[in-house]
Amino acid sequence: MIKRIDREKILDIKNLHFSYGPIKALDNLSLHVHKGEIVALLGANGAGKTTLLQTISGLNSADSGEIIFKDESITKLSAEKIVQRHLIHVPEHRQVFSTMSVLDNLHLGAYHHYQKTKKKNVVQEIEKLFEIFPILEERKDQLAGTLSGGQQQMLAIARAIMSKPDLLLLDEPSLGLAPIVVKEVLELVKNLRDQYNTTVLLIEQNVFASLKISDRAYVIQHGEIVKEGSAQELLRDENVKEAFLGHAVG
């Protein structure tokens, strides 16, 4: 865990509702994230986790409720305007620009602040990321679509960091990856938080691994928050262990 958590709320969601036609996907959902935290979202498939991230990032338009980011309501803002406020969403299935090189993908991550940032500084930021992701430096001239699944996930996260996120939404970063790569990717998420002071809201199918790197967690069921607490509390919670962890925790 990081040494210090700022008690300032960077994200505050109040009574959020969103429906797909007659189907309620988010039902009076409220949660908050403090600056500097990693917060995990736990829940079964279809519980509303991905819908929540899509609504926070402006891909869905909430029916009602409010999303406050850095003391500003972003509930009605477009996805582009939300990105400009340094709230960055890395969706599931990675979605790198497959026909572009690794290096070009990273440069695109700096798109929204490229005019304000000298090219020399962007290059320095990429070099700093290469220290954390050495495999990306090795493959910098390679087409992103030819990378392995784990390498593409690292590129997607590194590209997001180039956008200078104050809040990073990560949806299933380990989806489809081998167990040893899952551990590596999640450890990178923790290291990025520690080095860049980036706040992270995380959906991760490997619940045990996500709780091990998180500070707090929420459990979502049918679009509602049904449980919340510190990651350590939820690791010890018998209901959570039975529902999500099986025999992973004794």
CB atoms within 10 A of CB 20: 9
Which element (helix H / strand E) includes 185?
Answer: helix 179-196
- 118, 152, 117: which is closest to 133 by C-alpha? 152
pLDDT over 70, % of the chain: 91
Confidence of residue 182 (pLDDT cuts 50, 70, 90): confident
9-245: CATH class:
alpha beta
pLDDT value of residue 136: 94
DSSP state for residue 161 in the 8-state scheme: H
Whether the per-residue pLDDT at 248 is higher than 60: the answer is no
Whether the per-residue pLDDT at 239 is higher than 90: the answer is no
Confidence of residue 2 (pLDDT cuts 50, 70, 90): very low
pLDDT value of residue 246: 58
Instruction: Report d(CA 118, CA 47) in Å as an integer.
Output: 43
* Low-confidence winner among 14-28, 110-124, 160-174 (lowest mean pLDDT): 110-124
Greatest mean pLDDT among 38-47, 87-96, 183-192:
38-47
**Token pair listed for 107:** 């440069």
Chain position carrying tokens 């990081």: 2
Whether the per-residue pLDDT at 240 is higher than 90: the answer is no
pLDDT value of residue 116: 61
Backbone angles phi, psi at 143, to 5 degrees: -65, 135
Region 45-63: mean pLDDT is: 96
Instruction: Report d(CA 103, CA 239) in Å as an integer.
Output: 45
pLDDT value of residue 110: 83
Alpha helices in 15-147 (DSSP H): 49-56, 79-84, 102-109, 119-132, 134-138
The structure's pTM equals 0.88
CB atoms within 10 A of CB 144: 24
Whether the per-residue pLDDT at 170 is higher than 90: the answer is yes
**Token pair listed for 64:** 């009602």
Region 211-218: mean pLDDT is: 95
Backbone angles phi, psi at 171, to 5 degrees: -110, 110
Region 8-36: mean pLDDT is: 96
Instruction: Report d(CA 216, CA 228) in Å as an integer.
Output: 8
Whether the per-residue pLDDT at 99 is higher than 50: the answer is yes
Region 220-241: mean pLDDT is: 93
pLDDT value of residue 147: 93
CA 50 to chain centre: 11
Whether the per-residue pLDDT at 191 is higher than 50: the answer is yes
pLDDT value of residue 197: 85
